[in-house]
Structure 1
Amino acid sequence: MSFPNVYTHRKVAETSAKSCEICFKPSTSVLITDDSKDWFYVCPAHLKDKGFCTPKIDHAAIEARKKKELEEEIERVKKEYEEKQKKKKEKEKEKDDKEKNKDGKDDANKTDNEEKDKDKTKVESPSQGAAASPVSEDDEPRVFELKETFYQQRINKKRQAEIAKRNRERLRDPSYFPSVPKNLP
């Protein structure tokens, strides 16, 4: 009865909280193996304890996340550049219109004011969009490896549970006990 020493950290609902395996306080954090052979509740504070477990870093997932962030940043910069180019073309077009219409100076002042208002809103919106999309680090499950003593305790506990289950099954089987003698002495 052996299972790998690789546990994934998962959260459960507050109503499903059970006592921590180490300190017996209610906890919603669970460490579970990939094949679901072993799982137990543990406090998040114990996960930071170097004497209990060590986090296993998934370098491929980190690289993929960085690459995704970079692609999003490139896309955002491209959009901003396109908006600036469009704004430049609009300004040049308006200048050409102003030169053609020198009679309507009041109209030109109105368009300048409108243009300034548009610039202010455009300047505010990209910064808000960048702040609204932070990348959280909880997107991926955290993977841990228990220290040898705690891992051995988990194996022993599973082994004892299996032995107890086997003994209960034996006790339920009537052929396990000796039968009463049928012959008279």
Structure 2
Amino acid sequence: MALPSGLEALSYAAAEDKDVFCVTREAARKYGLRSFADLAKQNGKLVFGGPAEDKNRVVGLVGLKDRYGVTFKEFKALDASGPLVKGALKKGDVDVANLFSTDPDIEANDWVILADPKALIPAQHIVPVVRAAKADAKVRKALARLGGALTTRELARLNKLVSNDKKDPDRVAADWAAKNGLTKK
């Protein structure tokens, strides 16, 4: 994708805020689900929930069918890793939910992220985009250090502190940066 004039994408971070397909621990046990490939063994039996676009996009039902041979009993258009899809997964209204890898509710609810051995979902790393004219060597170096320190797991932990524990986002970011040696002493 081309960026507008004057903008530049720098090196991506280790962290990804990626689409993941999750099931409850109970569903994983009941249906023997560990990966997308396992979903095909349950064709026509399970309900998939996610944002409306999942019905027609490759990183959704189209790709699951084409790459893994998976079909679902039903698709429920809900939201993108929000309260509707997470509530539906908790209540059992959907069996498989499209969430984001940094969503703290995955760990909090002991949900299982299904493996994607055929790489249906591409990498979705966090990428800093800067105004090229303003990004001097100091800015570039700082963003590279930040990108190297920030992992998906750590980003999920930080999201939990802000979203679930209601901590101040500025304080959480400042504390994390200091802990990781990313601030001036």
TM-score band, normalised by shorter chain: under 0.3
* TM-score, structure 1 normalization: 0.19
TM-score when scaled to structure 2?
0.19
Q: Which has the larger radius of gyration?
A: 1
Larger relative contact order (CA 8 Å, sep ≥ 6):
2
Structure (1/2) with the larger helix percentage = 1
